[in-house]
Structure 1
């Protein structure tokens, strides 16, 4: 080996160790950065030894796809569970103390007590109080359900705005990647940024990706709609400021195609948007319709038909808040749970529950004195009588008012229980996918410090080589005089 060759070799070692040190230092500095993918300096053989040919990312596309998918389904499930828990909380604690079924049972029991002692005005007042508690519960839960829908709608708007912003950021990062690939410059930082944005997008809507020439990436939703291809596609939504039972929310469009809502307690939703649509348009309206059926059947059960039962049925203890109409058709009246009221005449004269006459003298049933309990018994019997309910509420079968109300609570609890179990599974799946991806692409400080020691040894070898060359040059010059 000539002295010039030895010097060139030493210079190459210094260049390599400098570049390797920069890469390792960058890895160590980003050791706690979850969005950083580890770099490594790749060496190649050249005339004067090894040279750093490129700085490569420890990318694993298969694990990245799994992580993105797991993020989407986990976010969708947790979003649904949050909405279900809000609906569950409307009915009180774990004993459902504020549920319509509990209030109905209280009213049923007090009617029985009043029927046993029909002369007691105190018991009559207690029945009115229980009736008011039941009405307040239906009114409040109905308002709460519509509040959940309103908040879901507002969150949809927030998520849509965020998604549009992320797509703009993705476009900038994608252009940087393509530009770097074309010019041959370092694209690693741009790739990290693009990947970070993609993960955020996947929490809002399920995505799949395709990488094309020069690292250009296209994004499609899990339903196959184009989300980004060279430029972002428009995500549009018109929010609704307030909800009632008869108000339908607006759809979300991606590139002109409507997003579908998730389905089931173990939801099919990928990302938060589909889960929010499921809460706003599927589960909350269905529960509202069940509340409305309870309210309708209450009015029917306590309707007055006169002494012989032949008069046109008119609202008695419970009214729809508008008129005295009684609808026994077995069809949901949207929003009835929000408007049902206790007849104000009962508050002023509780004995009208025992005697009848909310709709005038023709409807008075008891003319025989204060010991009469037949009408009270008919009310409790009506609450236990099986009847048809609207099958669209998903609480199916011919049931009594009491059973239907309990079945409605069970319906919601069954979905919530399924969603809870699914959320645990999907959260664990996301954690495992993220852990596997981080294991492959993340920074291990132990490995980096070990590599730094190896680089130090290379540097020491280069300095030893330079020192030897210096001694040889000095000896050569001294010999030459």
Structure 2
């Protein structure tokens, strides 16, 4: 080896070591950055020995795609579980202390007590108060359900805005990857940014990706709708200002295709949009219909009848048009739970519950005015434990007592929440495992990087020794020719 070739070799080693050290330093600086993929300096041979020919980025496309699916599923499940927890809290938490079924049981107990002591005006007043508490519970719960729908609608609007912003950012990142790939430059930073955006997009909507030539990426939703191809597809949504039992929320459209809502406690949805739609359009309306059926059942049970005419008695409500008769059995009256109330006459004269006559003398049952009259109260008590016809669209038994129906409504919600809780734990665990597997493949290991630094140090020392040796030989050669 000539002295000049030795110097060139040493310079090549210094250059390689400098580049490799820069890469290792960057890896170490991003060791805690979950959106960073490890860089590797790849060596090749040249006339002066090995040299850095390219910078490769650690990646595993299969694990990345599985990670995005896990993110979508965990995000959807977590959103559903949070919504059900909010609804449970509105009903009093673990024991459902403020649920209508709880107040219904207290009202039934007061009714039985009054039936055994029909002349006791204090017990009569207590019964009316319990009836008022029951009506208020249905009112408040109905309001909570519609508030939850409104909050879900607002979050849908926010998520749609965020998704459109992420897609715009993705276009820039994807163009950066294309430009770097076409020019032969290092595309690692642009690829990191693009993968980060993909993970953020997958939290909002389930996606799949296809990589084309020049590292160009196309994004599809989990149901096959194009979300991004060269340019972002528009995601549109019109928010609703307020919700009632008869209000229908607007759909979310991706490139003109509506986003489907998830289904079930272990939701089929991917991404939070699907379960926000599920909460707003499926779960909350169904629970509202159950509340409405409890309210309608109360109106039916405590109705007054004279001949062929039936009118609301102890319980009434505020419809847009006052009804001539009690609502038909087995048919939901949307929103009745929100305005159910105790007949104002009962507040001024609680004994009307015992005697009848809320709608005039023709409806009085205790015609003698006896303080021991309990026939009507006994009839009400028996009716509360007897079967009524309920709307099967509520998802509950269509023929059961109002007590069992109200209890089943709580059971329906708790079963759904429990299923969502179990599924949430499972999907979060799966996400954790896929993230760990992906990080093992693409993340930075401090032990490996520090070990590599030690190797680079030895390489630097070797090249420095070579330069020192060449310098000594050059000095001896110059001394010899003097």
Mark yes or no: TM-score above 0.5: yes
Corresponding position of 1:479? 480
- Superimposed CA distance per residue, residues 289-332 of structure 1 (whole angstroms, 9 cap, x where no aligned partner): 000000001000000114xxx34111000002243531133111
Name the SS for the 1:224 alignment partner: coil
Residue 112 (str. 1) matches residue 112 (str. 2): yes
Residue 69 (str. 1) matches residue 69 (str. 2): yes
- Superimposed CA distance per residue, residues 178-208 of structure 1 (whole angstroms, 9 cap, x where no aligned partner): 0000111111111111111110000000000
Cα distance in 2, alignment partners of residues 379 and 444 from structure 1: 73
- Superimposed CA distance per residue, residues 372-413 of structure 1 (whole angstroms, 9 cap, x where no aligned partner): 011111111111111221111100241011111111110111
Corresponding position of 1:43? 43
Cα distance in 1, alignment partners of residues 204 and 196 from structure 2: 13
Name the SS for the 2:249 alignment partner: coil
For residues 268-417 of structure 1, the aligned pairs below 5 Å read 268-306=268-306, 310-322=307-319, 323=322, 325-368=325-368, 369-417=370-418
Cα distance in 1, alignment partners of residues 257 and 397 from structure 2: 34
Corresponding position of 1:253? 253
Cα RMSD, aligned residues only: 0.8
TM-score (norm 1): 0.98
Cα distance in 1, alignment partners of residues 95 and 462 from structure 2: 75
Corresponding position of 1:431? 432
1:93, distance to aligned residue in structure 2 (A)? 2.6
- The answer as to whether partners of 1:249 and 1:281 remain within 8 angstroms in 2 is yes
- The answer as to whether partners of 1:317 and 1:346 remain within 8 angstroms in 2 is yes
Name the SS for the 1:330 alignment partner: coil
Corresponding position of 2:138? 138
Cα distance in 2, alignment partners of residues 360 and 340 from structure 1: 21
Cα distance in 1, alignment partners of residues 45 and 194 from structure 2: 33
- The answer as to whether partners of 1:37 and 1:58 remain within 8 angstroms in 2 is yes
Cα distance in 2, alignment partners of residues 396 and 438 from structure 1: 50
Residue 19 (str. 1) matches residue 19 (str. 2): yes
1:476, distance to aligned residue in structure 2 (A)? 1.1
- The answer as to whether partners of 1:138 and 1:337 remain within 8 angstroms in 2 is yes
Cα distance in 2, alignment partners of residues 333 and 314 from structure 1: 16
Corresponding position of 1:128? 128
- Superimposed CA distance per residue, residues 328-347 of structure 1 (whole angstroms, 9 cap, x where no aligned partner): 33111100000111000000
Cα distance in 2, alignment partners of residues 156 and 447 from structure 1: 44
- The answer as to whether partners of 2:153 and 2:276 remain within 8 angstroms in 1 is yes
Corresponding position of 2:193? 193
- Please identify runs of 4+ aligned residues in structure 1 that moved more than 6 A: none
TM-score (norm 2): 0.98
Corresponding position of 1:450? 451
Cα distance in 1, alignment partners of residues 58 and 96 from structure 2: 52
Corresponding position of 2:469? 468
1:115, distance to aligned residue in structure 2 (A)? 0.7
- Superimposed CA distance per residue, residues 136-186 of structure 1 (whole angstroms, 9 cap, x where no aligned partner): 000000000000000000000000000000000000000000000011111
Corresponding position of 1:173? 173
Structure 2: which 5+ runs fail to align?
Answer: none
Give aligned pairs, total: 478
- The answer as to whether partners of 1:103 and 1:130 remain within 8 angstroms in 2 is yes
Cα distance in 2, alignment partners of residues 94 and 40 from structure 1: 53
Cα distance in 2, alignment partners of residues 332 and 103 from structure 1: 21
Cα distance in 1, alignment partners of residues 102 and 329 from structure 2: 25
Name the SS for the 1:6 alignment partner: helix
